[in-house]
Amino acid sequence: MKITQSKDKAEMIRSVKHFLMQYAIYLVLVAIIVTIVILEPSILSVRNATFILQQAAPKLIIALGLAGLILLGGTDLSAGRMVGIAGVICASLLQKPDYALRIFKTMAPLPIIVPLLIAIGVCVFFAMMHSMLISFFQIAPFIASLGMQMIVYGVMSLYFDGVNNSSPIGGFDTRFTKIAQGSIQMGSFRLPWIVIYALVITFFFWVLWYRTTLGRNMYAVGGNKEAAIVSGVNTKRVIILVYILAGVAYALAGFLDAGRTGSATNGLGEGYELDAIASCVVGGVSLRGGVGRISGVVTGVLIFQVLSYCLVYMDINPYIQFIIKGMIIIFATVVDTQKYIKKR
C-alpha cells in the first residue's frame, strides 16, 4: 500500500515538474501582467486593447516569418532592417500628389500594389542572398544575419538620405493610410484592418506549416538536418524557400507599419527582430530547431506585446523595460535549454 502511494506521489511530482517546465514562462509573464493590472486597473479598456492589437499585428507578421528560420535552427538579426527598408520604400512612393514635401514630385500616383511589390522584391532579394550564405557557403546563421543586417541598413540609409535628405517621410496618400489605419466598427469595439491582415497571414502560415510538404520538411531539417538529407529532402531548397517567405513577411510588415505610424525614417523597424525572436522563444519555438507551433508564436507575440504596452502605460523607465525584457528572454532560453537536456 505504501509503495503504491509512494509511486503515485512520485508520478504526481513528475507531472507537476513537467507542467512547470512546459508553461513556466507563460506563468511568469501572466503573473507580471496580473500584478500590473492590479496596480493600474485603468489599463483594462477597449481602447487599450485596440492599441495593443494594432501594435501586435505587424510584429506577429514578422515573428511568423522569423519563426520558420528558427524552426530550421537558424535566426535572423536583419529582420528589423528588412522591415525598415520596405517601409521606407513604400513611404517614399505613396505620398499625396499635392504634398508640399513630396519626394518624387513629377511622378504620377502609383497603384498601391506597385510600391508593395517593389518592397517585396527588395526584401526577397536580400533574403535569397542571406539563405545562400547559409545553405551554399555554410556560414553560421548568426554571423550571416549580422552581416546582412549591416548591409540592409546601409542600403536603406543611403536611399533614405538620398531621396529625402534624412528628413522623416510623411504626407502619405489617403489610400495608403486607410489600408493600414482603417477599422471595422463592431458595436463598442473597433477591429483594425491591420489585425485582420495579420490573421489572414497567420492562417496562411498555419496551412504552410501543417498542410504542405515544405512544412513537413522544415521540421525535418530543423530536427535533424543529416537525417533529412538521407531521407531525400533537398535541404538547400527548403532553406531558400523559407527565407524567401520570411522576406515577403518582412515586406508586408514594413508596408503596414509605415502606414500605421504615418511616417518613416531609416530607424523604422529597429529592434523588431529582437522582439520577434523573444516572442517566438516565449511561444515555445526552440532555438535548437525542429520544435515550434504557430499557436505558440501568436501567443508569444500577444503576451510580449501586452507586457510591453503595460510597462509603457505605467511609465516605467525605458532602461528598466530593457532589463525586464532581457531577463524574460534569458529565462525563456534557460527553459528551452532545460527541455532539450531532458529530452536527451
| Residue listed under C-alpha cell 537525417 | 227
Apex 11 CA angle, 7 and 14, nearest 5: 140
pLDDT at 35: 82
Q: What's the pTM?
A: 0.91
Q: Are 62 and 83 in contact (CB under 8 A)?
A: yes
User: Does residue 337 register a pLDDT over 80?
Assistant: no
- With cut-offs at 50, 70 and 90, classify the pLDDT of residue 84: very high
Q: Alpha-carbon distance 125 to 324, whole Å?
A: 36
User: Please, which pLDDT band fits residue 324 given cuts at 50, 70 and 90?
Assistant: confident
Q: What share of the chain is helix, strand, coil (3-state, %, to 5)?
A: 75, 5, 20
Which has more pLDDT, 282 or 154? 154
More confident residue, 32 or 114: 114
Distances (CA, A) of 77 to 32, 255, 314: 28, 19, 29
What separation in angstroms does the CA of 213 have from each of 73, 132, 296? 18, 21, 21
Residue 242 has pLDDT above 70, yes or no: yes
Q: What is the mean pLDDT of residues 303-319?
A: 86
* The predicted structure's pLDDT at residue 110: 94
Q: What mean pLDDT is predicted for residues 82-90? A: 97
What average pLDDT does range 88-102 have in this prediction?
94
Query: What is the arithmetic mean of pLDDT over 87-99?
Result: 95
pLDDT digits 0-9 by tens, 276-297? 998 898 888 988 888 899 998 9
For residues 218 and 311, the model is more confident at: 218
Convert the pLDDT of each residue in 169-224 to its tens digit.
999 999 999 999 999 887 777 889 999 999 999 999 999 999 999 999 999 999 99
pLDDT in tens, 49-76: 888 889 999 999 999 999 999 999 999 9
Q: What integer pLDDT is reported at residue 2 of this predicted model?
A: 54
Give me the percent of the chain exceeding a pLDDT of 90. 60
Q: How confident is the model at residue 268 (pLDDT cuts 50, 70, 90)?
A: very high
Question: CA dihedral in degrees (208, 214, 218, 224; nearest 10)?
Answer: 150
Higher pLDDT: 332 or 229? It is: 229
Share the mean pLDDT of the chain. 89
- Confidence at residue 261, expressed as pLDDT on a 0 to 100 scale: 92
Higher pLDDT: 299 or 213? It is 213
Does pLDDT of 160 surpass 80? yes
Return the top range by mean pLDDT from 20-29, 100-109, 252-261, 325-334. Answer: 252-261
Q: What confidence score (pLDDT) does residue 9 get? A: 67
pLDDT band at residue 343, thresholds of 50, 70 and 90?
A: low
Question: pLDDT tens digit string along 6-41?
Answer: 666 666 767 666 666 666 667 777 787 788 888 888
Contact between 214 and 197 under an 8 Å Cβ cutoff? The reply is no
How deeply is 41 buried, as exposed, middle or buried, from its count of CB atoms within 10 A (0-12, 13-18, 19+)? exposed
Q: What is residue 5's predicted lDDT score, i.e. its pLDDT?
A: 57
pLDDT at 90: 97
CA-CA distance, 176 to 257, in Å (whole number)?
11
